[in-house]
Structure formats: C-alpha cells, structure tokens
Chains A and B, each alone.
Chain A
Amino acid sequence: MSLSIHPAAADGPLTEVTASESALRRFLHGLPGVDQVGAEARAADLATRSIKTDAKRWAIDMAIRMTDLTTLEGQDTPGKVRALSTKAVQPDPSDPTVPSVAAVCVYPDLVEVAVEAVRGSGVQVAAVATAFPSGRSFMDVKLLDTRRAVEAGATEVDMVIDRGAFLAGHYGKVLDEIQQIKAACGDAHLKVILETGELVTLDNARRASWLALAGGADFIKTSTGKVTPASTTAVTLVMLEAVRDFFFATGQRRGVKSAGGIRSAKEAIRYLVLVNETAGPDWLTPDLFRLGASSLLNDLLMQRHKQATGRYWSTDYLTLD
C-alpha cells in the first residue's frame, strides 16, 4: 500500500473507499497480496534478534506498560476482577519501580468493578463488547452492549467483527457495524478484533485490517483469545504493515494489539522487535501497541527480577491472581 496505489481522500481517511460497497470491495481486493511463506519467514527472521542487558530491561518494562491484563472467563467474579485490577496497577508489590500495565480487559458486566479498582492509577479499563467472542447477535444488542460498557466507565472497547459477513464478502456490513460501534463508543477508544484465526489467510488479515482502519478503529486487534490460532508473529507483522501503510496514506497513526497465546517475556520481546522494525520505533508506546495477555505479566516480572538480580526467579515471590 502506498499513496501511489491508493490515494487517500484529503478530507478524511479513505472516505472515497468507504463511499460504496463496490468501492470498498475494489479497494480491499486491490491491496497487494501477502505471500504467507515470505511473511512467516520475515517474522521468523525478526524472532532471531537477540535482545540483551539494557535493551532487554527496557523491553520488559515497555512490555509491561503495553499489557492489557485480561480475564475473560465465564467464571469471572468481582473478586477475580478486583484482584486482577490491583495487580494491573501494581504488578509487583515488592518493587514499586515496576510500571502499571496499560489496561485491564474484562467482560462488560464487570467493568464497574474494574473501574473502581484502578481509579486514579491511569490504568485503562477495556471492555470486550458486541457479543464477544463470536459477535453473533443482533446489532441493537451489540450497540447496547457497547453503550452500557462505556456508561459503566470503560475507556476502551474491544469489539469483534462479523467474521461470517467478512468471509461472505459483505464488507459493507462489517464496515457499517464498526462505524456504528465507533459512534457508540463516544470518547472510548475502539479496538477492532479481526479474529484472524477464523479469517485464516494473511490476505484476509490485511483486508480486514484496512477495513477496520477505514471504519475508524483506533486499534486493530488480532484475536479474542478464544480461537486457535490466536496471535501469531506473522499476522501481527501483516497488521503492523497495515497501520504503517495507513499512516503513510492518511497521516494518522493507529495501533495494533496482539492478543492470545503470548505467555513468555521472550515472546513479548519478539513482538516488540516486530513493532520496532515494521511499523517503526514511533509505535513503541502503549498508545500504539498492546499485548493482550493474562499469564504473560508474571513471566515479564520473573525476567525483570532475573535482570535485576542475576538469579532465575520463582513464582513463589510473585502474586498468582
């Protein structure tokens, strides 16, 4: 993608593209293809970066600051959410230099609990809305889901796209939903979950990325975490390319969130390398990159202790929430 292929409208991002169903289709199918083998090879190559000492310390703290600490289980309770939120604000009670995470991510009905628990900390509360994770419900239900979450204090909304509509080629329907949810979000930031594991191909991931960006997504997010595969480095690479190219086309910087299956500090650092060398260093901020995870945080803390003390650490010295 570049200016010379898809000139962006001057008065707003891609308004020409979203003007009609056929224009949208032409645009999305006019995007350059993604060669899966090549994309995976590039992601694998970047995974060989060796991040040591100061660079590693910086990366661990950045990864903590980028984490959306997540609990999205049927068995979630206010108690669980309060515990998680407390950890989000102060991940390591033994070390006040550990930064807070970016956000806690919960179901809409638990937003209030989380908001109360993180109040005044700067930690954001994200709600998964729109009939998460499948998105299979009525539009008015999805809108209500979103509005109620925002009213409850969510400052970020993680919506899911209608994968069925996307795979059936009804891009206008997907776009319309995103635009409506965006409007319902008000000031809350919208993360659009593509659920790339269900879109299957990287070509689809690229098209869905642009579709979501055209619809007003502040972030594009890989996965719900409920589908395998969830985030992969290859799909994140493709999505980072999309936000990078979107920036060159529109001048606007949008974010990427990789979610699901990222459990170790080593993996998290690989994602940071991807960000650094794909979208660029400007994206190395929680404003533009997030890691959606639950168990990752403790591994980051373990590695942080290792870096600080030279000893391999034990979870006995961390909180299990």
Chain B
Amino acid sequence: MARVDVRKTYKLYIGGKFPRSESGRSYEIRAADGGFVANAARASRKDARDAVVAARKAFAGWSSATAYNRGQILYRIAEMIEGRRDQFVAEVAAAEGLSTRKAAAVVEAAVDRWVWYAGWTDKFAQVFGASNPVAGPYFNFSVPEPTGVVAAFAPQSSSLLGFVSVVAPILTSGNTVVVVASEQRPLPVISLTEALATSDVPAGVVNVLTGHVDELAPHLAGHMDVNAVDLTGLAERDTVELEQRAAENVKRVVRPPSREPDWNATPDPTRIMAFTETKTVWHPMGL
C-alpha cells in the first residue's frame, strides 16, 4: 500500500519566521497543468506592514555587515539551493510547466546568479565609487550605499530565476527587502525562503509575501518607511497609480519593463546601483 505523503504548508516569510497570514486567508496554487498543488498564504496589508517593520529592523545590521560577510552569505544561499537541487527542479518544473531538464537549467542559472551577485558585494563600491579631484585642499570621495528598505515585485513567469534576479542585486549593497512573490507561481520561492533561513541571512533581511499583487502593491508603494520600490515583476500592468503613491516620500522607482525579460540573459550591475545612494565625503587636508 502506497504511503500517504506529508505535504508542506506554504507560509509567509517575515522577520526570519514563517507565519501564516494574520488575515487567516489562503489561495489556491495550481500547477502549470491546472492541477491543485497547495494553498498559499494570502498576505494582507498588515502582513506587508509587519514585513516592512522587520526589514527596517534588519537594515542597520545588514547594511553595516562587511561586504565580504554579505558576499559569503549570498554565496551560502547558492550552496543551499544547490544542495536541495532536486526539490527546486521539481517545484520549478511544476510551477512553470517545464521539463525536468529545462527546470534544472533554470535552477542552475538561479544558483549561478547568487554566485554572481555574491562576488559583487565587495566590488561594486570600487567600480562605482570615486575619489574626486576637487580644486582645493580636500580629500573627497564618493561611495555607493544601500538605499534602505526596498519593496520588490518578483516576476510573474520566472518563479525562481526571476525572483533571484530581482532580489539578489537589492541585497548585494546591503538593502533589506520585502518581496511579493509571483502570484500564481510562488511555491519555489517559498522553498527558497527555507534555504534563506538556513543560510545565515539575518532575520528580516529578506521578507517574502505571497498573495494578490493588486491587494498588496498600493500599501507597499505608499508605505512611508519604504525607500525604494522595484516594479519589475509588474510587466504589462498599469503602474501609474503605484508610481504616484511612491512619490509621496520620493521613493526610488524601478519601472516595470514592457514585458517580462529573459532572465537567462547575462546580468549587469545596473540593478545593484538602482538601489544605492552615492554619498560624498569631504575632508580638509592640512597640517
């Protein structure tokens, strides 16, 4: 007689914990073939609020960690995914309707993407910072620093690689993030949060919400303690109102592309720099 398998309860990831939605709601996730897979937590605006609080609390520590330390932690995430490769391949295959071979390629690309950004943590400031030759007896230098708390919308189609491609560059410079996962394909990312929780990523650095994008987006875009919003995952949607809400505290906004990009393309550091602020420091040089 076949064994009855133990199914996973898919929950949110906030402040390093895995709560259900405070609203007590969930929604059905179906596989690419239409079959029922699981009920995912349907986050409410209060969950979004709690996630922002957790992200803000984590910001001081994550942003002041050494770049080397952040790099090792991002690399550790890659190790964790690699170690649970088969699980991710299965989940991506189910979520995105891919063959196992193609899903494996996606998972491998996601692992490699973490590695790519892990290597940037202690380099982007060298590449994009500067020593500025001002006309006077001053030492003047510019360094890129993390913007703060970022609200991000993960791509809707590419459930895992898209998510990693959006979230990793935000984390690279030391931002903390509240991400709304792909609405219809959130499950690989829920598993990813389990890898994050065991990868020395401090609690609150990454917070993942599942649920209805339209319900959560206005609250995140309008939140006065969020410094930047990444609308990349909202391709082909009207984001005018979200951008307008973002203006309320002059958020940095990464606008959505007209259609979801091919996440297999070679990344560039644009996404890292989009969530940084350049700080310039002056000091006199004298005896």
Chain A contacts to B: CB under 8 angstroms: 35-38, 40, 200-202
Contact = CB atoms under 8 A, between A and B. Distances in A.
A257 B285 CA distance: 28
A37 B137 CA distance: 7
Nearest to A36: B286
A227 B195 CA distance: 71
15 contacts: A35-B284, A35-B286, A36-B284, A36-B286, A36-B287, A37-B137, A37-B138, A37-B284, A37-B285, A37-B286, A38-B284, A40-B286, A200-B287, A201-B287, A202-B287
Contacts of A36: 284, 286-287
Contacts of A38: 284
Interface string B254-287: 0000000000000000000000000000001111
A201 B287 CA distance: 6
Nearest to B138: A37
Contacts of B138: 37
Nearest to B284: A37
Nearest to B283: A37
Contacts of B285: 37
Given A37-B285, A200-B287, A201-B287, 12 more contacts: A35-B284, A35-B286, A36-B284, A36-B286, A36-B287, A37-B137, A37-B138, A37-B284, A37-B286, A38-B284, A40-B286, A202-B287
Contacts of B286: 35-37, 40
A200 B286 CA distance: 11
Interface of B: 137-138, 284-287
A237 B285 CA distance: 19
Contacts of B287: 36, 200-202
A200 B137 CA distance: 17
A201 B284 CA distance: 15
Contacts of A35: 284, 286
Nearest to B286: A36
A260 to B, nearest CB: 19
A40 B287 CA distance: 11
A40 B285 CA distance: 12
Most buried by B among A37, A40, A201: A37
A201 B285 CA distance: 13
A319 B257 CA distance: 85
A202 B286 CA distance: 10
Nearest to B285: A37
Contacts of A40: 286
B84 to A, nearest CB: 57
Contacts of B137: 37
B131 to A, nearest CB: 18
B55 to A, nearest CB: 40
A252 B137 CA distance: 37
A40 B137 CA distance: 11
A179 to B, nearest CB: 29
Contacts of A201: 287
Contacts of B284: 35-38
A35 B137 CA distance: 12
A198 to B, nearest CB: 13
A38 B285 CA distance: 10
Nearest to A40: B286
A31 to B, nearest CB: 16
A10 to B, nearest CB: 36
A35 B282 CA distance: 14
Interface centre among B138, B285, B287, by most chain A C-beta atoms within 10 angstroms, is B287
A36 B284 CA distance: 8
A307 B88 CA distance: 91
A261 B285 CA distance: 26
Q: Nearest 5 CB-CB pairs, A to B?
A: A36-B286, A37-B284, A37-B286, A201-B287, A37-B137
Nearest to A201: B287
Nearest to A37: B284
Nearest to B136: A37
A162 B287 CA distance: 22
Nearest to A203: B287
A35 B287 CA distance: 8
A35 B285 CA distance: 9
A38 B137 CA distance: 10
